[in-house]
């Protein structure tokens, strides 16, 4: 395959450098705008061979697993971009998504998270001929890159890698890949293995023994708890919550607390708040200090954790919970009649149906939280067309060095 030189013009939404060849985009991973690079081209992709003229924004990546050569982890895209240019790019991702929907927004400075602050991870693992591989998939493949370090994850999770590899070796069978989700709680690691299928009793007992030896707080097989030495505990603005196995929580504690503060300040003064796609209560529980809260969520285990936390936390205003599929059955305008504030934090698919109901309601303030700027922009367009004014948008980088970015949009009638 021939080597050719190209000049990179801009960064794409996935962090690839983009060159234009014969009027068509060519995507080159690990390349930066303004650089001349040598590549080997396959279709619309260019594999980086060398950087002939580097950008002044290029910097040394902090992790040995990052880069174009060898069995490299695909978890990060932009460790080679200096932090100022990187922060500008993250903010631009949000701006571009809103602009595509004709939305002119006051986008605030990026709220950053530090390296080593991510408290949860989902590793891939698989038995191989000479042992076991545990890590993250290489970019664009199902090949697992074995990792020994990670600049994104908390030190406690990185230190646990040898033990997790041993645990995976106990449970692995048949060569099929499976997942290990790890959450750093205040009482220890909460580890859940999923996709492994049925295991023999000896493997089950050996895994329990390994979890106890390593002092995990809890070990689960899917949603089945194998052993719970201590209940995993998280705090949402000082409120204790016991999350269910594999339950969704924000990736970073510092991002979580910043988001709670932003949403709480915006909805201050509301007497009744709906928290939609509430999860374990990241927003519902702190908001209940200032208003009555109605929480809706389709994950029964998460909703149970929220309810239990509300019942055991003194000083909260009334909190109601309802298990509900808000994609199929969003809260209607009639159900929102007594609600004056709403926060919603849906999965990446967004909250299109729910946004339509909110737009037609009498709700006065909305905080829209999203990890997908494209679906956020779509939902904001619905709310704006329904009579809301977009006050501001705050991007939050709790997915460090990746092409993902969280954002909170604040709206009022």
Name the binding residues.
250, 277, 297, 345
* Binding-site annotation, residues for S-adenosyl-L-methionine: 250, 277, 297, 345
73 is an active site residue: no
d(CA 397, CA 78): 13
Strand 389-397 vs strand 111-112: parallel, antiparallel, or unpaired?
parallel
Angle at 250 between CA 156 and CA 230, to 5 degrees: 50
Which of 63, 150, 280, 371 does the annotation list as catalytic? Answer: 371
Residue 16 CA to residue 399 CA, distance in Å, equals: 17
- So which residues are the catalytic ones? 371
């Amino acid at each position: 395959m021939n080597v050719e030189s190209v000049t990179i013009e801009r960064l794409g939404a996935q962090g690839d450098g983009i060159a234009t060849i014969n009027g068509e985009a060519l995507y080159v991973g690990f390349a930066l705008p303004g650089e001349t690079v040598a590549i080997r081209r396959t279709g619309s992709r260019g594999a980086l061979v060398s950087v002939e003229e580097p950008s002044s924004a290029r910097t040394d990546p902090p992790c040995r697993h990052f880069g174009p050569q060898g069995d490299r982890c695909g978890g990060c895209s932009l460790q080679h971009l200096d932090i100022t240019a990187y922060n500008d790019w993250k903010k631009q991702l949000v701006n571009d998504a809103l602009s595509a929907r004709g939305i002119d927004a006051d986008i605030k400075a990026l709220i950053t998270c530090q390296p080593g602050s991510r408290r949860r991870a989902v590793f891939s693992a698989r038995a191989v001929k000479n042992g076991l591989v545990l890590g993250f998939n290489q970019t664009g493949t199902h090949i697992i890159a074995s990792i020994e370090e990670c600049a994104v994850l908390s030190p406690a999770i990185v230190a646990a890698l040898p033990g997790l590899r041993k645990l995976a070796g106990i449970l692995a069978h048949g060569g099929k890949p499976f997942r290990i989700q790890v959450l750093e709680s205040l009482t220890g690691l909460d580890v859940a293995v999923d996709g492994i299928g049925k295991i023999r009793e000896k493997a089950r007992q050996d895994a329990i023994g390994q979890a106890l030896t390593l002092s995990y707080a809890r070990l689960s097989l899917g949603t089945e708890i194998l052993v719970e030495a201590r209940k995993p505990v998280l705090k949402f603005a000082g409120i204790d919550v016991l999350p269910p196995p594999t339950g969704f929580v924000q990736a970073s504690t510092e991002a979580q607390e910043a988001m709670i503060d932003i949403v709480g300040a915006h909805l201050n003064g509301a007497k009744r708040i709906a928290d939609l796609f509430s999860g374990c209560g990241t927003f519902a529980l702190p908001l209940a200090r200032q208003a009555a809260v109605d929480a809706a969520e389709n994950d029964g285990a998460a909703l149970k954790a929220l309810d239990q936390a509300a019942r055991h936390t003194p000083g909260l205003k009334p909190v109601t919970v309802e298990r509900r599929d808000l994609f199929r059955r969003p809260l209607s305008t009639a159900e929102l009649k007594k609600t004056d504030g709403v926060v919603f934090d849906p999965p990446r698919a967004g909250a299109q149906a729910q946004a339509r109901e909110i737009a037609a309601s009498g709700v006065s303030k909305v905080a829209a939280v999203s990890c997908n700027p494209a679906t956020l922009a779509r939902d904001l367009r619905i709310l704006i067309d329904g009579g809301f004014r977009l006050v501001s948008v705050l991007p939050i980088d709790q997915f460090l060095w990746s092409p993902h970015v969280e954002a909170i949009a604040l709206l009022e009638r």
